[in-house]
Amino acid sequence: MFLLDTGPLASYLQGRGAAVTLISPWIEDRIVATTLVSYGEVAEYLLGQANRLTLEARFRRLLQRIEPLANDRVVMDRYAVVRRQLRPPYGPGLIGDLDTIVAATALVRDLTLVTTDSDFRRVPDLKLLVSPPR
């Protein structure tokens, strides 16, 4: 199963070819989810778009097929572990808190994170598919 980060989710909503080609089969097979963090980031992004109403309607339809996963204590405990692993001098350097929550969600649920953000490569044991931004 796959977990969509904000970038690929927004690209899919905008109908960008590479994202649609990559993600559509996962939606059909129901093997993809996202996080409430990415949901919130995309919702905020849509507020600034000229075609906001169209994109928001498309987003609501998409969320009927892609489950936004909530945080719970297990995810937040894993967040704490990942944050400590990344914190110098123990690790290669922190990533943003929201990204750390997304990574923890993928780790706890044993999902492959699909992102355009190469910073996630620093997270130990994270299964990752980094696609170029489009």
Closest CA to 68 of 101, 36, 107, 102: 36
Residue 133, pLDDT score: 62
Q: What are the residue boundaries of the structural domains of the chain, listed by start?
A: 2-130
CA–CA dist 105, 33 (Å, integer): 11
Under CATH, domain 2-130 is a member of which superfamily? 5'-nuclease (3.40.50.1010)
Predicted TM-score (pTM) of the model is 0.93
pLDDT tier at 93, thresholds 50, 70, 90: confident
7 pLDDT tier (thresholds 50, 70, 90): very high
**37-71 residue pLDDT tens:** 999 999 999 999 999 999 999 999 999 999 899 99
Beta bridge partners of 129: 114
Whether pLDDT at 74 is above 70:
yes
Tens of pLDDT, residues 124-133: 999 999 987 6
Per-residue pLDDT for 91 more than 90?
no
Q: What is the pLDDT of residue 89?
A: 82
Q: How far is Cα 49 from Cα 34, in angstroms, rounded to an integer?
A: 21
* Dihedral angle over CA of 98, 101, 102, 107, nearest 10: 160
Q: What does the alpha-carbon distance between residue 113 and residue 126 come to, in Å, rounded to a whole number?
A: 8
